[in-house]
Structure 1
Amino acid sequence: MTMPGRTRTKVCGLTNADDVAAAVDAGADALGFIVDVPVDTPREISPERAATLVGAVPPFVSTVLVTMAPIESIPALHERVGTDAVQVHGDVDVGAIDRLAGDCDAALVKTVDAAKPESARAYADAADALLVDSTDESGAGGTGRTHDWTATHDLAASLDVPVILAGGLTPANVAEAVGAVDPYAVDVASGVESEGGVKDHDAVRAFVSNAAGASADGAEVSA
């Protein structure tokens, strides 16, 4: 689905207050906090730490709980962390996402594998947005790999739900990605890090600026 206006940005995998402040100062629209995932990642933090970081985010910047927790435990986890949205990873039944929408007072983002567009279509009516990523065998994202942007563009254009592009994005390629896909938003984690779980603040600023300054035809957007 093509959405009007500039492409929004989400900086994900935030682990500390300095990086949260840097992402906010850079103009990121959304901040992601990874809690309760069964994969080894330096970006996972405890619910308590996530709640503290979320509490410091100013108004008009969205916060996102990113999790692979059992679906039945997500409402309680969300209540502890207090984000505006929940991003669900893994192989989750569409009916479970429907039920979660009724049990959780948050916008729901479902991550889908870029290599399996049929799964995106299945979740389109149940989720508030879809995040198309290069996933691993566990269903987790954050692989740092890009995928076929042309196919993702065609998928996004065919869906009546916002599509967020993730997977291998960096300050160097995000403008090209926006031009190719025309997504509602782009999502970055490892592509703006100085080391695992620690953001490079210059890279965060460049990513947000390059994403916001790109358009679907690859031209820069004038102010």
Structure 2
Amino acid sequence: MPDVKICGLTRVEDARHAARSGASFLGVILAGGPRHLTLPEARQVLGAPRHGVRRVAVVGDQSAVDVIALASALTVDVVQMHGRRPPAEAVQIGRTAGCEVWPVLRITGATLPEDAIMWGAVSGTLVLDAFVAGQLGGTGVALDWSGMVESVAALRRELPALRLVLAGGLRPENVADAVRLLSPQVVDVSSGVESAPGVKDPVRVQQFVRAAHRAAEMSR
């Protein structure tokens, strides 16, 4: 059964509702865009740590020093990294901040980047998201899941313990197809459960969690 990550949270009530609805990961964005939060805002939205719910800070091209400071100030479990930085720097961030680091691979078409195996080996987790020029995520653009089946299978043969986080255009209406085709360990949604940028629709959040879990049960 895939875990669910609700990302792009901007309101305290949305984070609370996501946790109550069964989300395993709550994400805040500190990398620009319409859902960007300042450090004090992110701290308020995430609130106190919750049992069984992990906290994720989405970062961009900030320096390693700044990322470590953000992760430590928010006591997050995961730093989700957009942009490119040396693998050794990513490892340093994780070790110093005491958290996992999830590199994001932005996909065009159905082909994984050549460095997918390298980054998967370094981090143990990869986030697959759709490439949209000038935007980091939350675009509502879906990946070609059916076209990616073979490349994802090949990646898993190389890295059997890899955790796959699937993002990009997921919604309650299509998450079952994505789970059936690619069997991700985590499904990551932002705009697909919103009524406006950064405003989560509580009904759609519940529908998404149920649809993701039901799809995994049906595929057994």
TM-score normalised per structure 2? 0.88
4+ long deviations beyond 4 Å: none
Equivalent residue letter for 2:207: A
Equivalent residue letter for 2:87: V
Asked if 1 retains the 8 angstrom alpha-carbon contact of 2:164 and 2:185, the reply is yes
What SS is found at the alignment partner of 2:103? strand
Equivalent residue letter for 1:187: D
Q: Distance in 2 between matches of 1:154 and 1:29?
A: 28
Are 1:144 and 2:136 matched, yes or no?
A: no
- More moved, 175-184 vs 149-158: 149-158
CA deviation string 1:166-191 (max 9, x = no partner)? 00000000011100111111000000
Could you say which residue in structure 1 is the equivalent of 2:195?
194
**Structure 1's 152 and 94: CA in aligned 2 closer, same or farther, altered over 3 A?**
farther
Offset at residue 91 of structure 1 (A) = 1.8
Q: Which residue of the other structure, out of 91, 97, 103, is the alignment partner of 2:96?
A: 103
Asked if 1 retains the 8 angstrom alpha-carbon contact of 2:78 and 2:101, the reply is yes
CA deviation string 1:16-65 (max 9, x = no partner)? 11101110111011110111x1x4x2211111121222233421111101
Structure 1 residue runs of 5 or longer lacking an equivalent are 1-5
TM-score normalised per structure 1? 0.87
Asked if 2 retains the 8 angstrom alpha-carbon contact of 1:33 and 1:65, the reply is yes
Q: Distance in 1 between matches of 2:206 and 2:185?
A: 19
Could you say which residue in structure 2 is the equivalent of 1:162?
163
**Share of identical aligned residues, percent?**
32
Could you say which residue in structure 1 is the equivalent of 2:21?
26
Q: Distance in 1 between matches of 2:122 and 2:3?
A: 22
Could you say which residue in structure 2 is the equivalent of 1:75?
68
Q: Distance in 2 between matches of 1:101 and 1:84?
A: 10
Could you say which residue in structure 2 is the equivalent of 1:112?
105
Residue correspondences, number? 211
Could you say which residue in structure 2 is the equivalent of 1:84?
77
Equivalent residue letter for 1:204: V
Structure 2 residue runs of 5 or longer lacking an equivalent are none
CA deviation string 1:141-161 (max 9, x = no partner)? 222111121344334432321
What SS is found at the alignment partner of 1:19? helix
CA deviation string 1:67-116 (max 9, x = no partner)? 11223321111111111111111122223222323322101111112234
What SS is found at the alignment partner of 2:90? helix
- Which of the pair is proportionally richer in helix? 2
Task: Please report the RMSD computed on the Cα atoms of aligned residues, expressed in angstroms.
Answer: 1.9
Q: Distance in 2 between matches of 1:153 and 1:92?
A: 27
Offset at residue 123 of structure 1 (A) = 0.5
Could you say which residue in structure 2 is the equivalent of 1:51?
43
Offset at residue 205 of structure 1 (A) = 0.3
